[in-house]
Each structure stands twice: as structure tokens, then as C-alpha cells.
């Protein structure tokens, strides 16, 4: 069974966490099932970037992102070459190391001065 290591995130999982994942389950669902509340404003329909994560290890084991996901990712805060939307990233047979960015577009836009 593949494992996902969530790297420490200052709010969502300060200590980091290593969890087991089912093949075919999305990274977002694995996180939510384990109490890591990654934001998902569009209810997992690939219509926003709030569940953006960076796949530090195991990126090549994921199915390639489709055009819709790529278009959404272009809007993500802190985009990196290994960025994915966690609601679209299905676990295959490899372990993953996931880095949850410090901010999402929603959080940035909600902090009005």
C-alpha cells in the first residue's frame, strides 16, 4: 500500500504526517481522511486552486495532469514544476511526499488590509 508523507505545514499539520493511501484515491481525500484539512473551495471539481500541493517525491508516478488542471494550476500561488491539484492527483503504486504551500489564492485574497 503506498504511503504519503505530508511535510510539516504551520497550520494544517505542524508535525507533518505519514499515512497509508489506497491506490486510486486522491491526495486530497487521503489528507482529509487523516485530519489534514486542505482547502477545497470548489468541492473537488477542478474549478479552483485552493487544494494546490507540490509533489516533492513521486511526481512521475501520478497520472499526467489534464488541460483543465493545467489551466487552473497557472493561477495557483507559488506554482512549481511539481505542482498539482490534490483533488485531481490519484495515488498510484508509489509513495509520495507532499508539500502543502503556505498560502492559497483564497487565503491571499481574504487578507484585505
How many angstroms separate the CA atoms of 84 and 64, rounded? 10
Q: What does each C-alpha distance from 77 to 2, 33, 55 come to in angstroms? A: 28, 25, 15
Q: Which three cell numbers stand for residue 84?
A: 498539482
Enter the CATH code of domain 3-110.
3.10.20.30
The domain segmentation of the chain, as residue ranges, is 3-110
Mean pLDDT of 83-105: 93
Mean pLDDT of 76-89: 96
Sheet-wide strand order for 96-99: 17-20, 3-6, 96-99, 52-57, 83-85
| pLDDT tens digits for range 22-77 | 999 999 999 999 999 999 999 999 999 999 999 999 999 999 999 999 999 999 98
Amino acid at each position: 500500500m503506498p504511503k504519503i508523507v505530508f511535510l510539516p505545514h504551520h497550520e494544517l499539520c505542524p508535525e507533518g504526517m505519514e499515512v497509508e493511501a489506497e491506490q486510486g484515491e486522491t491526495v486530497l481525500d487521503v489528507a482529509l481522511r487523516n485530519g489534514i484539512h486542505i482547502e477545497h473551495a470548489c468541492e473537488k471539481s477542478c474549478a479552483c486552486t485552493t487544494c494546490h500541493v507540490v509533489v516533492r517525491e513521486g511526481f512521475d508516478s501520478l497520472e499526467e495532469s489534464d488541460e483543465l488542471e493545467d489551466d487552473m494550476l497557472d493561477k495557483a500561488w507559488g506554482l512549481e514544476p511539481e505542482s498539482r491539484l490534490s483533488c485531481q492527483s490519484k495515488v498510484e503504486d508509489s509513495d509520495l511526499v507532499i508539500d502543502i504551500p503556505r498560502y492559497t489564492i483564497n487565503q491571499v485574497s481574504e487578507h484585505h488590509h
